Copies of this chain bind each other. A is one copy, B any other.
Amino acid sequence: MSTQQTTVAVIGLGIMGGPMAANLVKAGFDTVGYNRSPQKVKDLEAAGGRGAASIAEAVADADVIITMVPDSPDVEDVALGEGGLVGAAKSGAIWVDASTIRPDVAVRVGEAATEAGLRPLDAPVSGGEKGAIEATLSIMAGGEAETFEAARPVLEAVGKTIVHVGPSGSGQTVKAANQLIVAGTIELVSEALVFLEAYGVDTEAAIKVLAGGLAGNRILDNKASAMAQRSFQPGFRVDLHHKDMGIVTAAAREAGVAIPLGALTAQLMGSLRQLGHGDLDHSALLLLVEQLSGHTRKD
């Protein structure tokens, strides 16, 4: 599929979908976008894309459709609801759902799409707003291998590490594992930072040396310094990560897999939200460690 002849529809032009659509335009795809609030559509038009007034209009001529919406019910609505894409897309169109949703819902909507003649992939992403803007997202795709290969040129316009991980639903399963590791790592780094502060250690120096050894991770690289400064601008909101921890704990329970650290992290993320911090970046788990410890940072 050549870039020039390919029309890509993007449904959901928010923090993630907006920059992804802009990168599709940049890569030379004929890009048409739809979003519930129309300002985002105008932003895409300003970036060189085409706007649509409905899902049906956006997907009518699309070879590839990307959906990027908040949660499982949103995907069901956008795909199968009144005026949804499954009834409106042309036969043979590829549908890439980049949203993070329940694996079982991904399988179900994928089956409905296949019956309607579409070629579905569940292809959630990791890398956040920064990765979306810089087109460096990690993309974990489930579905038919042939569909994945056909979608690859489009995925390469928005991501860097692009991997087919298995059949329908597998992308969401890997994303669930991703969210478990990310939340758990944030909590581990939070515990380490509050511990180090309590002992009066030079935190910046400690972050540097921890990042250089076997403890090294992307949270130490990208977030720990801001955490030490108590800067929790999202990024990725606690509310959304709480939703994702619900997905992974339910999916693990369903499969009979014990995830003791994942389950405890889910509890802590839920507490943080209940304490009124749902709008902060997920790295605000540090605030909960601090509160549990009766500590505040010494300046």
* Interface residue ranges, A against B (CB under 8 Å): 103, 125-128, 131, 137-140, 160-167, 169-170, 173-174, 176-178, 180-182, 184-185, 187-189, 191-192, 194-196, 198-202, 205-206, 208-219, 222, 248, 251-252, 255-262, 264-265, 268, 289, 292-295
Contact = CB atoms under 8 A, between A and B. Distances in A.
Nearest to A178: B215
A182 to B, nearest CB: 5
Contacts of A167: 200
Contact of A255 (B198, B210, B258): B198
Nearest to A180: B192
B176 A181 contact: no
A191 B265 CA distance: 12
Contacts of A169: 199
A187 B261 CA distance: 7
Contacts of A210: 126, 138, 140, 174, 177-178, 181
8 contacts: A126-B213, A166-B202, A170-B200, A184-B185, A188-B261, A215-B218, A260-B264, A264-B264
Oligomeric state, in number of copies?
2
Given A177-B192, A218-B213, A260 B268 contact: yes
Q: DSSP class of A's interface residues: helix, strand, loop or mixed? A: helix
A284 B258 CA distance: 15
Contact of A217 (B170, B187, B208, B218): B218
Interface centre among A167, A213, A252 (most CB of B within 10 A): A213
Given A257-B293, A265-B261, A161 B213 contact: yes
A212 B213 CA distance: 18
A91 to B, nearest CB: 29
